[in-house]
Structure 1
């Protein structure tokens, strides 16, 4: 199930963590749950925030997503070349389909949903909420310095945590994501069965698949598709990684 509610409450979400599949949404959600639950003993005056995450689908596909104007929204976005490369490596087409052919399907939203539409729609959705309640995370920044990005996130969410506690929680998440590859890799992949651990803390792996020309063509398409958004394309596309 992609939409989880950590507190079981039917009330509005206090915190929403969202992004496209393979963008560490699940890891961010579990990190925040750990940070919130170990803050102070739960009392009527100090309740655990209602933390929700949704991954991969469009805002319109979650009609029951309960978001108020006070909801804090954390949106994580990842280089589409890395996402396409991960989907390609994990697909049944990997052995008998050229990457260039697979990218045409990826750009058209097949078979895993349209990344461009997802990113545009969530950008529009987020623009309808107070900017003070929005926090955008670029996946590659998260990989470069996970603890620092989580520290910034704690400040945004007013989670009272010292840096030592943040590092401890982050190390716990990182440890389970850095198991030996043979233990992490799954033999079979289904539509709703993603191997998050295989791709977390990895950025720029598209370089092992893309030629320079193919990467440039992909970037140009993404730039055109997302030209009306407020994304930092230098951070998102990371040609230097």
Structure 2
């Protein structure tokens, strides 16, 4: 879907920063909505749009109507930074501390903090009943619980057994080989670590670097309604 050139009134928006699990969440919601439209009671198929890594201001013709359902996923920015650093191919030419400075304070208009603040501003103007926040670590570590929360948000009636079966199918699908998939893993001390593991920052950050990073994020987002201590944990 060309959001920039084509005006769209969206039923469901799945958004989050790069390397924050937006694709995984988007696929899960697609599976859920295949059972029942969460937006209307008729046969209308919901228009689901994935806005991964983009700022709201980059979609000047994006129409978010009051009935739009918005699912916003956030990931520990330390893990996000490590995933971006290792997937960008700059490890041999750029020190990690230098990359982090750019990640937080750089001139790019796609900084993690800018993305988070702009989307929070959009969400603050939207009906809370149509907003759903997902923490990446919860999605990975407690998948069935998060799928249950999504079912409740979309008013999809599923038993715990049905949810468990659906989650098993989604896990199996995610494990299927994808030859054309971009590189999404690397090795740490002989252990294969994917860019979507939780806590991967612990293998990259020094204690001093972690303290400086957390302090900077807490200061920049001091007015945020996110649970920043949970996010940075």
User: Once the two structures are superposed, what CA deviation does each residue of 1:122-178 show, in whole Å capped at 9, x if it has no partner?
Assistant: 111100111111111111111120111111011011122222332333333323434
Task: Give, in angstroms, the shift of residue 214 of structure 1.
Answer: 0.5
Structure 2 vs 1, CA of residues 116 and 237 (structure 1 numbering), >3 Å: closer, same or farther? same
Q: Distance in 2 between matches of 1:69 and 1:78?
A: 26
2:74 to 72, 77, 88: 77
State which of 114, 124, 130 in structure 1 corresponds to 2:111. Answer: 114
Instruction: Could you tell me which runs of 5 or more consecutive residues in structure 1 were left unpaired when the two chains were aligned.
Output: 188-196
The structure 2 residue matched to 1:59, chosen from 42, 53, 56, is: 56
- The correspondence for 2:92, drawn from 91, 95, 99, is 95
1:17–1:53 Cα contact (<8 Å) kept: yes
Which ranges of structure 2 fall in alignment gaps of 5 or more residues?
185-192
Q: TM-score under structure 2 normalisation?
A: 0.84
Counterpart of 1:177 in structure 2 is 174
Q: Distance in 2 between matches of 1:170 and 1:28?
A: 12
Counterpart of 2:68 in 1: which secondary structure? strand
CA distance in 2 between partners of 1:179 and 1:95 (Å) = 31
Partner SS for 2:67: strand
| Number of equivalences | 222
Task: Confirm or deny: 8 A CA contact 1:20 1:57 kept in the other structure.
Answer: yes
Residue equivalent to 2:188: none
The answer to whether the 8 A contact 2:14-2:49 is kept is yes
Following superposition of structure 1 onto structure 2, how do residues 213-224 of structure 1 map, counting pairs within 5 Å? Answer: 213-224=208-219
Structure 1 segment 118-137 matched on structure 2, within 5 A: 118-137=115-134
8 A contact 1:20–1:118 mirrored in 2: yes
Aligned equivalents of 1:160 and 1:68: distance in 2?
A: 25
Residue 15 of structure 1 deviates from its aligned partner by 1.5
Instruction: Kindly state the Cα deviation for residue 2 of structure 1 after the two structures are TM-superposed.
Output: 8.5
For 2:46, what is the secondary structure of its paired residue? Answer: coil
TM-score normalised to structure 1 length: 0.81
